[in-house]
Structure 1
Amino acid sequence: MKIEEQFNNRNVSDNGYFMVDIADYPTTPWGKFKRVMQRTFRGELFVGLWVVMREMLRFNIHTVQYPEEKMPIGPRYRAVHKMKRLWESDTERCIGCGLCEKICISNCIRMETKIDENSRKEVTEYSINLGRCIFCGYCAEVCPELAITHGGEYENASEQREHFVLYEDMLTPLDKMKAGTQEEFEGFGAITPHEDERVKKTPLAY
């Protein structure tokens, strides 16, 4: 049969349709009870119970005992921000350029600066409202000094909104600077290690 004839033929009686045998809905309480029992104790119920029992008896359990155990996250995971310090002087890296504040699409970064006695810009107040932040990573991407990056701490639950804007919690502590344990990032757009071996050429025809 040609395609034109197949679409022109509207007779569907010879195409293998069959009527579904649907029983009448019971009206008596005893009929309703029997229907519930018939639908409950079918083979699908025992198949589901067997699948649950089989997974329970396996020894290679994939459940993570949170918060004692945590899943590893990637090096470019966009979690709570980290403010970096200079290795030479332990001072803040932020120069107060305001690029992070301007590019923030959720309008959650606030910065106030002033000119110090050496005619240099100094950051007097810096806050990030984590309650509004969508963790897009634009602030870390445009920062020319890599002063703001995204860390791996994703647990930022709190009972008060004031805890979401504490700059001191995001700044690297001085004891970590003395111990030399401040993590450095090449930037938000940097590729992960050993990524060159994984890159494949795009199959283009030209």
Structure 2
Amino acid sequence: MGFEEFKNRNISEDYVVVQEDNYPKTSWDTFKQVVTRSVKGELFTGLKITFKMMTGALFNGEMATVQYPAEKLPIGPRYRAVHRLLVLLESGEERCIGCGLCEKICIANCIRMETRVDENSRKEVLEYTINMGRCIFCGYCAEVCPELAIVHGGRYENVSEQRASFSLKEDILTPFDQLNQQTEFAGFGSVSPDADEKIKKTPLSY
């Protein structure tokens, strides 16, 4: 194989050689080429759809954009967002019995718990923190909890300038004055709709 054949070994007969004579020579030729390639039927079809959506949003109230944070889209009841620590409705005491299963199963190693045995020989939870900066929201802690003490809530806005704000128990524990607003997880072991009547028949002593 000669040198010229070696240089032209990849040239096929199907290749199209671009001629320099086809390129615009003047500014007017460039303008005509841009207009010819830009102004086509597809352009007006897109403008028609855009104008239809704009008039519907302005005059017919068909706004598709959610004005966040003033407006928020509804989320599912099983959405796994920031954790919530539930309490017993009849007494207001924490449901957590300090078993430590959530701390052991946490694959992100973000749950810390400190417990002690009180004077009544019951385990008492002193500190319970979840580092939201490390949590991957897998849901294992909520699944393994035997008392349904920890569940995933619907609050997904978890923003702070300090890392210390990501692990406050007071932020996820149900306050005593908001017991009537506590929503139960509709799963195995959750409170039944007639729980109030059952509690009145079988009161618990705390």
Report the TM-score when normalising by structure 1: 0.72
The aligned counterpart of 1:36 is 34
- Unaligned 5+ segments in structure 2 are 1-13, 191-206
Match of 1:122 in 2: 124
The answer (yes or no) to whether the contact 1:94–1:145 under 8 Å persists in 2 is: yes
Which residue in the other structure is 1:26 paired with? 23
Alignment of 1:26-175 (within 5 A): 26=23, 28=25, 30=27, 32-58=30-56, 59=60, 60-175=62-177
Letter aligned with residue 169 of structure 1 = D
Unaligned runs of 5+ in 1: 1-17, 191-206
Deviation, structure 1 residue 118: 2.6
Structure 1 vs Structure 2: percent identity of aligned residues?
63
What code does the residue aligned with 2:124 have? Answer: E
- Residues 1:187 and 2:187 aligned together: yes
Q: Distance in 2 between matches of 1:149 and 1:165?
A: 16
Alignment check: 8 A CA contact 2:148 2:189 kept: no
Q: What is the distance in 1 between the residues matched to 2:69 and 2:148? A: 31
Aligned CA distance change for structure 1 residues 42 and 140 (closer, same or farther; 3 Å): same
CA RMSD of aligned residues (A): 2.8
Which amino acid in 1 is paired with 2:23? P
Kept in 2, the 8 Å contact 1:127–1:165? The answer is yes
Give 1:181 deviation, angstroms. Answer: 2.5
The structure whose Rg is larger is 2
Distance between the aligned counterparts of 2:114 and 2:91, measured in 1?
22
SS in structure 1 at match of 2:128 = strand
Cα separation, 1, equivalents of 2:124 and 2:104? 18
How far residue 20 of structure 1 moved from its aligned partner, in angstroms, is: 8.9
Structure 2 residue aligned with 1:195: none
CA positional deviation for 1:29: 6.1
Change (3 A) 1:117 1:47: same
In the other structure, the counterpart of 1:9 is none
Tell me if structure 2 keeps the 8 A contact 1:76–1:188.
no
* Alignment size in residue pairs: 171
The change in CA–CA distance for 1:163 and 1:28 in structure 2 (over 3 A counts) is farther
Structure having the higher helix fraction is: 2
Q: Say which SS state the counterpart of residue 57 (structure 1) adopts.
A: helix
8 Å Cα contact 1:140/1:188 also seen in 2: no
The Cα shift of 1:22 comes to 7.7
